């Protein structure tokens, strides 16, 4: 969304496509003035069905990834055809800009004779990892399901990128082995069609990741995209922690964020909470909805002066 707003500032007309479920979340979290700003900036929010019926189905990673690949390409193609049939020639869709995880959208663009680009919103090093998956499998570091062939293995994608252990692979953060496998294959599948894109755009700067950017000749670093406007986010902005943070000394607050995939059990949360209490430093931690009760129970007697 931030990138779309930047494009709109340069005169582009944007049709922002979400699944129906995500679209409803974005719109419900958007203040009225935020929707007006989007409309005034030539950004139109639309949606297509994801093929799932319930929230429970969307929590099932296997069903979700399968539905995206089975239903979304045809729906997006129909959407583009409908827009191009109803608009004048000057308003036809001329480029499909796809999130890097949705590389199939570039296949749709290629099939329709439309130029395509991918936008990688994470670090270039993360893109380098995903593009290196076939080589890591060929070299015997990972097996066909993304699991390391040895208990401890260091991976170095290039001499200029720091090595990391296989336990820190993105899908390794998931405790369920079956979900690890699903996520790995989804990520690996997303990379192949990205090669069809005319442009690779990344939310980074060359000065931040020169070695990672250098791996891809057609990668264009366009970030970092930073903006205070929260329009188009999943949840309304919550400024309740700002007063607490403003009372702390500069560079004194520890920030802990749990990823969308990581799932800690109550004992792990409590161990982390005790460790934070022992170092006696203010901290702020961000926990997703699935883990909120576990996080709260880890602090039965929250200390004064901590940002929690």
Between vectors from CA 131 to CA 126 and to CA 137, what angle results, nearest 5°? 110
Q: 202-258 pLDDT, tens per residue?
A: 999 999 999 999 999 889 999 888 766 666 566 666 677 888 888 999 889 988 877
Q: Round the average pLDDT of the chain to a whole number and report it.
A: 85
What residues have CB less than 8 Å from 192, skipping those under 6 apart? 103
Q: Is residue 194 part of a domain?
A: yes
pLDDT of 112 reads 95
Q: Is residue 70 part of a domain?
A: yes
Q: Do 290 and 196 sit in the same domain of this protein?
A: no
**pTM for this one?**
0.75
Q: Do 266 and 208 sit in the same domain of this protein?
A: no
Q: Is residue 267 part of a domain?
A: yes
Q: Per 3-state DSSP, what percentage of the chain is helix, strand, and coil (rounded to 5)?
A: 45, 15, 40
Burial class (CB in 10 A: 0-12, 13-18, 19+), 52: buried
229 close to 147: Cβ distance less than 8 angstroms: no
Rg (CA), the chain: 21
| Number of domains observed in the structure of the chain | 2
- For residue 203, the 8-state DSSP code is S
Q: Is residue 28 part of a domain?
A: yes
Q: Is residue 140 part of a domain?
A: no
Q: Is residue 75 part of a domain?
A: yes
Q: Is residue 129 part of a domain?
A: no
Q: Do 277 and 190 sit in the same domain of this protein?
A: no
Q: Do 195 and 251 sit in the same domain of this protein?
A: no
Q: Which residue has the higher pLDDT, 146 or 266?
A: 146
- Give me the DSSP letters along 153-201: -EE-SSTTS--EEGGGSGGGG-S-HHHHHHHHHHHHHHHHHHTT-SEEE
Q: Do 186 and 99 sit in the same domain of this protein?
A: yes
Q: Is residue 73 part of a domain?
A: yes
Q: Do 73 and 20 sit in the same domain of this protein?
A: yes
| Domain interval for residue 85 | 2-123+180-221
Please tell me the total number of residues recorded for the chain in this structure.
308
């Amino acid at each position: 969304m931030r990138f779309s707003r930047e494009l709109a500032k340069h005169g582009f007309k944007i049709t922002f496509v979400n699944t129906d479920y995500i679209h409803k979340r974005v719109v419900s979290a958007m203040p009225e003035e935020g929707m007006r700003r989007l409309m005034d900036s030539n950004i139109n929010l639309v949606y297509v069905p994801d093929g799932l019926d319930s929230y429970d189905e969307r929590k099932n990673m296997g069903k979700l990834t399968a539905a995206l690949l089975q239903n979304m390409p045809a729906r997006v193609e129909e959407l583009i055809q409908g827009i191009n049939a109803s608009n004048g020639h000057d308003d036809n869709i001329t480029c499909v800009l796809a999130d890097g995880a949705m590389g199939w959208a570039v296949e749709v663009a290629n099939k329709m004779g439309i130029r395509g680009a991918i936008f990688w919103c994470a670090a270039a090093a993360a893109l380098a990892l995903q593009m290196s998956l076939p080589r890591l499998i060929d070299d015997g570091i990972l097996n066909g399901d993304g699991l390391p062939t040895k208990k401890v293995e260091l991976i170095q994608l290039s001499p200029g990128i720091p090595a990391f252990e296989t336990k820190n692979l993105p899908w390794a953060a998931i405790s369920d082995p079956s979900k690890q496998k699903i996520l790995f294959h989804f990520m690996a599948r997303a990379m192949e069609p990205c090669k069809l894109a005319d442009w690779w755009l990344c939310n980074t700067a060359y000065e931040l990741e020169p070695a990672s950017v250098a791996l891809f000749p057609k990668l264009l670093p366009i970030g970092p995209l930073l903006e205070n406007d929260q329009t188009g986010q999943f949840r309304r902005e919550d400024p309740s922690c700002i007063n607490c943070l403003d009372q702390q000394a500069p560079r004194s607050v520890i920030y802990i964020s749990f990823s969308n995939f990581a799932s800690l059990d109550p004992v792990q949360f409590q161990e982390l909470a005790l460790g934070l209490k022992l170092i006696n430093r203010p901290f702020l931690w961000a926990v997703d909805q699935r883990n909120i009760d576990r996080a709260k129970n880890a602090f039965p007697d929250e200390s004064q002066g901590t940002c929690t």
